[in-house]
Structure 1
Amino acid sequence: MMKNVFAIGLTILIGSTVFGQIPTDNLHYYSMEEVKNASPDTVFAIDLEKEGLESLPQELQKFTALKGLKLTKNKLEELPQFFTSFKDLQFLYLNKNSFTFFPPQVFHLSELVYLDLSRNEIGSIPAGIKNLKQLKYLDVWDNRFTTIDDAFAELQQLEHIDFRGTTFSTTFVKQWTNNFPNTKIYFDKPCSCLD
């Protein structure tokens, strides 16, 4: 009986490959309280939004069948090593936390389609980003980028990138727009600052 209840959320619509279309998350998200007695392989989406978390609960690590995880509006500065075991994760919401660096555990999530890291304090996008070969949507709005590794340009499957909230030079905007000719990229108006 419990298995059927949690299997409802399995259907995911990624959407068509139309230029810049945002992948659709049709998962049904459950709280940790709702899944505490569920078989881990029947739980596909968990919502831990606005829980005031500074670290993730250990019991989360048993849910390795997750397709979606919402961690929005917490106080997370890093992710635990067990996070790399979420091999099937497709939708990950890490926005409005306290990350100052791109969490390296994310680079092991090879099925990731949608990643929201907006409203953090991240200063760079490292080379590990190139491992996310399925990623279609990346929201890094309102961070503090000073460097973006050239390996980022390998992600030609990206359909949508939101870089707003950081003022980049005209040269930077031109470079990354050229790097992603088939991607919808959102920038703030470039500054007239020195490159």
Structure 2
Amino acid sequence: MKRFAIVLICFVVQIGYAQLLDSVSLSELTMYKSLQKANKVSPDSVYRLTVFFKKEKNLGEALIKFTNLQELRIKSVKLKEIPPQVFELKQLVILEVSNCQLIEIPNQIAKLSNLTHLILSRNYLVNLPSAFKYLKKLEYLDIWSNSIVVFPDEMAELKETLRIVDMRVIYMNDLRKEELQKLLPNTKFYFSQSCDCH
């Protein structure tokens, strides 16, 4: 009877909170490549999801039920902003929102404190919020092909964890590059060729 009770308690705890997986374990799980496919299984069993060319206006509402999501990729979806419901998916380790016409990242990004990889390539971003300083586990940031040339000073708080920043196809001069490298001296930056510009 005791053994049964212990097993039952462990089972309840496991249901209540999904353990964060390491990158290898996560990559071995099924990647659902559409909401339609993900909706055919229990929402609790969906850890990885990619959404392409989604025209549904209520994308955030469609995503919020996948509470165990640890990898979410939104690609080529017309969005001006990340749906606020995404910031309630607190298990996220990898978030990609690429080629989506984003114009800003709100401070709610700070809620995703487990993020290690953030991919925001091919959008219309011109800056990053100071709330990035709360992404203490962030290792990889891809802002390829945006218009960001300056980071908030608060980003310096990520100097121990942020290993790689991809800033290719962003045109800036050598001075801007030097400023970024001073802010994050332990980070490897990938830049395009310097230009005689801002």
TM-score, reference length from structure 2: 0.79
The count of residues paired between Structure 1 and Structure 2 equals 177
Q: Deviations over 1:64-120 (max 9, x none)?
A: 110011101111111232222111101111011110112433221000111110100
- Indicate if the aligned counterparts of 1:12 and 1:27 stay in contact, CA closer than 8 A: no
Could you tell me which of 174, 179, 191 is aligned with 2:195? 191
Question: 1:114 aligned to 2:124?
Answer: no
Partner of 1:158: 162
Could you tell me which of 77, 89, 103 is aligned with 1:100? 103
Q: Deviations over 1:145-176 (max 9, x none)?
A: 25421111211111110111121222111121
Partner of 1:173: 177
- Secondary structure of 1:62 counterpart: coil
Partner of 2:186: 182
Could you tell me which of 28, 35, 39 is aligned with 1:36? 39
Q: CA distance change for structure 1 residues 60 and 117 in 2, over 3 Å: closer, same or farther? A: same
Q: CA distance change for structure 1 residues 53 and 141 in 2, over 3 Å: closer, same or farther? A: farther
- Amino acid in the other structure paired with 2:168: R
Give distance in 2, aligned partners of 1:54 and 1:187: 35
Partner of 2:144: 141
- Secondary structure of 2:23 counterpart: coil
Q: Which has the larger radius of gyration?
A: 2
Give distance in 2, aligned partners of 1:160 and 1:185: 6
Could you tell me which of 9, 13, 21 is aligned with 2:23? 13
Once the two structures are superposed, the pairs formed by residues 49-128 of structure 1 within 5 Å of their partners are 49-52=52-55, 55-128=58-131
5+ residue gaps in structure 2? 1-19
How far is the alpha carbon of 1:191 from its aligned partner?
A: 2.4
- Secondary structure of 1:148 counterpart: coil
Which structure would you say has the larger RCO, counting Cα contacts within 8 Å and 6 or more residues apart? Answer: 1
How far is the alpha carbon of 1:39 from its aligned partner?
A: 2.5
5+ residue gaps in structure 1? 1-9, 15-23
- Secondary structure of 1:128 counterpart: helix
Question: What is the alpha-carbon root mean square deviation over aligned residues?
Answer: 2.3
